Amino acid sequence: MALLGAAPLARAQGAPSTADRIARTVADDVKSIASVETFPIGLAAAAFAMTIWPYDAQITEHASSSPAWKDAFEGWARIGGQEWFLATTAIGTYAYGRIFDHPGFVSVGGDLIEAESIAGVSTLAAKLAVHRTRPDGEPRSFPSGHAAGTFAAATVLQRHFGWKVGAPVYAAASLVSVARLQANSHYPTDIIIGGAIGILCGRAGTFDLAAHRVRLSPAVTAGGFGVTGSIH
């Protein structure tokens, strides 16, 4: 409400409002989901899901009845994919950066908030459109919101910090997703497509990073001129 209330004043001063900038940023990032770069991700996920689909019920039944899987995933893995946990982590990261003036935390937190928001809206729309029943009889099985949320967060972190952080967070996202099989809440295809949605939304939330990884600028030297640059 505060952002929208400030919009008329900003427009009167000839500058775009904060709300306008946020809206344009989100719109540009959402458009990036459907691109040549992301097409192979969606195609691979669809092909994998079609391959696994005939064994959906069998895999879920085995996972949900396995004592070893229950011991491995009980507790932390189920909490890790909850919407409140992901939202608290994203907002907390952003707030910490704002309070203590750490631009890096602000950037990561903002991208997490955006990616999680896009993933949440996307999965909810798909759930309402597909109406697939969960293995335990509850509604809205496809796609998995836990998988979408955790893979969106993992993608944001990987895009910011590289694979030294990306590898363990993707592994954690995979464990959280597999825990949904053990809980008898999802089929494998729910998780595969949910994970793909999360990756695409995470990439959408960090769309601007690709444009800023390489910086070049002219430089004057003693003998003439050159070009200096940096890779982030």
Please tell me which residue, 209 or 42, carries the higher pLDDT value. Answer: 42
- Residue 72 pLDDT exceeds 90: no
- Residue 96 pLDDT exceeds 70: yes
Do the bridges between strand 214-221 and strand 224-231 make them parallel or antiparallel, or are there none, so unpaired? antiparallel
Q: Is residue 192 part of a domain?
A: yes
Q: Is residue 162 part of a domain?
A: yes
Q: Is residue 17 part of a domain?
A: no
Q: Is residue 156 part of a domain?
A: yes
CATH of the domain at 91: 1.20.144
- Residue 1 pLDDT exceeds 90: no
Lowest mean pLDDT among 35-49, 150-164, 206-220: 206-220
What's the whole-model pTM score? 0.78
**Biggest alpha carbon distance in the chain?**
76
Q: Is residue 216 part of a domain?
A: yes
- Residue 75 pLDDT exceeds 90: no
- Residue 10 pLDDT exceeds 50: no
Lowest mean pLDDT among 11-20, 30-39, 54-63, 219-228: 11-20
Q: Is residue 6 part of a domain?
A: no
Cis peptide before 143 (omega within 30 of 0): yes
d(CA 91, CA 158): 18
Q: What pLDDT band is residue 202 in, cutting at 50, 70 and 90?
A: very high
Q: Is residue 104 part of a domain?
A: yes
d(CA 150, CA 145): 8
Q: Is residue 142 part of a domain?
A: yes
In one-letter notation, the amino acid at residue 143 is P
| pLDDT tens, position by position, 26-46 | 666 666 566 666 788 888 999
Give the total number of structural domains in the chain: 1
Strongest mean pLDDT among 6-10, 29-33, 112-116: 112-116
Distances (CA, A) of 58 to 22, 28, 61, 90, 139: 45, 41, 5, 36, 19
Q: Mean pLDDT for the chain?
A: 81
Domain region containing 79: 22-231
Lowest mean pLDDT among 1-10, 19-28, 114-123, 166-175: 1-10
- Residue 69 pLDDT exceeds 90: no
